[in-house]
Structure 1
Amino acid sequence: MTTHTTDPAAAPAREVRIPVPGGGHLWADHRGTGSPVVLLHGAGMDSRLWDSVVPLLAGRHEVIRYDARGLGRSTPPAAPFSDVDDLLVVLDHFGLHRAALVGLSMGGETSLDFALAHPGRVASLALVGASVGGHDWPSTPELSAYATARREQDTARLAELELSIWASLGRTAPGGELVEAMVADNAVRRIAAEQHLAPSADGDAEARLGTVTAPTLVVHGDRDHPEIGVIAERLAADIPGARSRLIPDADHYLPLRTPDRLSELLLEHLARP
C-alpha cells in the first residue's frame, strides 16, 4: 500500500471541545483537507482506536474523530442524551452539510441510525465490525456474562470480558497495549454514561436496511466474534449496493490490528463516485 504523507496529514491535529445539550462537551480533533470523514469508535473505547488510521486517511481527507459522551476525554453526561444527536452536533460544529461516516461496533450502529434519520447529511457509510439496532443476539454463556456485568455495573468483570470476547488476539497482537489501556480507562466511565443513554428513536434499524441510500462498505475481521460476521452478512445483503470485505488476522479492534489494510479499503471506498 502506498502511504500518502502530504503536509495536511503530517500537521498536528487540532483539538476542539464541542458543547453538547445538557452541559459538558465532546472532545474532538481534526486534521487534513479534502472531503470530510468522521470516525466513530465503539462502546468502552475512545477515539484512540483510530490512532493508526487517521494519518493514512488525512492525506486525502479532512478527518474528524471524537470521544463519545462520557468516554475518553469527553465529559460525563448529566442528563439523557442520544449518540445520534451528538453526531449531528459534531457535524454542525464543523459546518459539515454532508460527511462520510466510518463507525466501528457501537459507532457503526450510531452511523447507521444517523443515516436513517438524516440521509441527506451522509455522503457514504463504512460499517466496521458494526452492531445494528434490532438485532437478535444469541444467548451464549460469554455474551450473557457480558450483559450481566453491564447490568450489575461490575466494571472489573466487564473489562475482563471486553478483552476476552472482543480482543481475542490478545496483548501481543498489534495495538494490544493500547486496547488494554482504553478498556481499563473507560470501564467505569462507560457504565456511568450508559445510565443516561436514551434509546434510539429507531430501535429496529435492522428492519429498515433496505431504505439506506448512502453508498456502504461493510468490513469485519476474521477473528471477531462470530455474531459480528452474521450481522455483516445481513448488512451487506440488505443495504442496497453494499460491498463487503473480510480482513484476516483481525478481531473486533480492527483499526489497531490491521490499520494499513483497513485504510486501504476505506480510501478506495471514499474515492468512489
Structure 2
Amino acid sequence: MPYATTSDGVQLYFEETGSGRPLILVHEFAGDMRSFEQQMRHFGKRYRTVVYNARGFPPSDVPTDVSSYSQARAADDILAVLDHIGEKQAHVVGLSMGGFATLHFGLRHQARALSLCIGGCGYGAELEKRDSFRTEADMIAKKLLKGDMPAFAEQYSLGPTRVQFQRKDPRGFAEFRRILAEHSPLGSANTQSGVQKERPSLYDLVDEMKRITVPTLIITGDEDWPCLLPGLLMKQTISSAALCVMPNSGHAINIEEPDEYNRIVGDFLSQVESGRWPNRDPRALRNSITGIDN
C-alpha cells in the first residue's frame, strides 16, 4: 500500500491515477478519499490525480495524542504528499476540512501551489459564532469517544447543510453515511479537538490571505450557510480569487452535484493551465458605488 510520511512520522495512505500536471484532492471531516472517487475518475483523464486520507482516517495512521492534530499539520500533510510523489507543485482541491487545509497550504507553502480550489470553507469562522462552534466541537468529540460511529453518522449526516444531498440523491447519501460510519472514533474525535476546534478564524487571517496571489477558486453551495459570508470575505481579500456559489446545494458539493462541480473546477483548472486566470483589477475596489466621484 502506498504511504507518504509526514514531518512528524505519520503515515498517510494515498492513491493516484492518470498523468500530467499533479492535482491533489483533500477530503472533508465526514468523508475520506472515497468521497472523491468521481473526481478521481474525471480529473484522472487529464491530470496526475492524487487523493489521500488525512491523519486519523484509516488506513492512514491514527495518532492517539490530540497534539498530533492541528490546522498547520493538516496543511503540511499536503506538502508531505506532494514531496513524496516527487512533484514541485500541484493544483490543490479541498472541501470543508480539506478546504481549510487547502487555504492554509496556500498561506504556508504558496510557492508549491499551481492553484487552490477552496470548497465549503467557513465553519466556525464568523467571530460571533466562534464560541458556539468550539462548544459543538467539544460535544462532537465526546460523542465520538463513546465509539458508536454508526449512531454518530446517523445524526451528523442529517445536519442542516447535509439534508440537501439526502433529498436529491438518497442512494449517494446512503453511501456517504456508510463511509462516515466506518471512520475511526478516536481519529475523528482527535480531528475535532485538534483541527476543527482550534483552527483560527478566517476573519483573523485577513492580512495573511492578502498575500495569496496564486490562482484561487472559492466554491460553495448556496445553502451551505456557515460558508457564505466567509466565502465573500475570501473573495474580497484574495486578489486572485473567484467565488462560485452552486444553486440549491448544501455542503458536500462534490458528491451532491458531481457533474456541475467537476465542470466548474475543470474550467478553473483549464484557465489556470492556459495562463488566462486573472488577478482582480484594482479599480474594482473603489469606494464609489457607481464610479462617479465628487
Distance of 2:134 and 2:55 partners within structure 1: 25
Distance of 1:216 and 1:181 partners within structure 2: 32
User: 2:141, 2:188 within 8 Å by CA — same for their partners in 1?
Assistant: no
- Going from structure 1 to structure 2, the CA distance change for 1:251 and 1:132 (only over 3 Å counts) comes to closer
Residue 291 (structure 2) aligns with: none
Whether 1:87 aligns to 2:78 is yes
- Going from structure 1 to structure 2, the CA distance change for 1:56 and 1:76 (only over 3 Å counts) comes to same
Whether 1:101 aligns to 2:87 is no
Residue 3 (structure 1) aligns with: none
SS class of match (1:126): strand
Whether 1:73 aligns to 2:72 is no
Q: What is the deviation of 1:162?
A: 4.5
Please list every run of 5 or more consecutive structure 2 residues that lacks an aligned counterpart in the other structure: 276-294
1:190 to 177, 183, 188: 188
Whether 1:41 aligns to 2:27 is yes
Distance of 1:25 and 1:249 partners within structure 2: 38
- Going from structure 1 to structure 2, the CA distance change for 1:129 and 1:49 (only over 3 Å counts) comes to same
Q: What is the deviation of 1:132?
A: 7.5
Q: Supply the AA of the counterpart residue of 2:163.
A: S
- Going from structure 1 to structure 2, the CA distance change for 1:193 and 1:246 (only over 3 Å counts) comes to closer
SS class of match (1:18): strand
Distance of 1:44 and 1:164 partners within structure 2: 11
Q: What is the deviation of 1:134?
A: 5.8
Distance of 2:30 and 2:189 partners within structure 1: 9
1:152 to 139, 142, 145: 142
SS class of match (2:38): coil
**Aligned-pair Cα RMSD in Å:** 2.9
Residue 107 (structure 2) aligns with: 116
Q: Supply the AA of the counterpart residue of 1:264.
A: R
Whether 1:168 aligns to 2:167 is no
Q: What is the deviation of 1:246?
A: 1.4
User: 1:134, 1:205 within 8 Å by CA — same for their partners in 2?
Assistant: no
Distance of 1:85 and 1:35 partners within structure 2: 20
User: 1:129, 1:221 within 8 Å by CA — same for their partners in 2?
Assistant: yes
Residue 18 (structure 1) aligns with: 4
Q: What is the deviation of 1:238?
A: 1.2
SS class of match (1:164): coil
Write out per-residue CA displacement over residues 150-197 of structure 1, whole angstroms, 9 at most, x where no aligned residue.
353446575413532341225353320122012212261300445565
Write out per-residue CA displacement over residues 117-174 of structure 1, whole angstroms, 9 at most, x where no aligned residue.
1111011011111137965262798x57733423534465754135323412253533
Single out whichever of 25-34 and 128-137 deviates more from structure 2: 128-137
Distance of 1:195 and 1:140 partners within structure 2: 14
Single out whichever of 24-33 and 145-154 deviates more from structure 2: 145-154
User: 1:39, 1:66 within 8 Å by CA — same for their partners in 2?
Assistant: yes
User: 1:149, 1:158 within 8 Å by CA — same for their partners in 2?
Assistant: no
Identical aligned pairs, as a percentage?
Answer: 24
Whose helix fraction is larger, Structure 1's or Structure 2's? 2
Moved over 6 A (4+): 200-203
Residue 218 (structure 1) aligns with: 218
- Going from structure 1 to structure 2, the CA distance change for 1:177 and 1:201 (only over 3 Å counts) comes to closer
Write out per-residue CA displacement over residues 188-242 of structure 1, whole angstroms, 9 at most, x where no aligned residue.
1300445565966998434422111111111111232x12111111111111031
SS class of match (2:240): coil
Alignment length (residue pairs)? 257
Residue 28 (structure 1) aligns with: 14
Distance of 1:102 and 1:233 partners within structure 2: 19
- Going from structure 1 to structure 2, the CA distance change for 1:201 and 1:167 (only over 3 Å counts) comes to closer
Q: What is the deviation of 1:75?
A: 1.5
Residue 280 (structure 2) aligns with: none
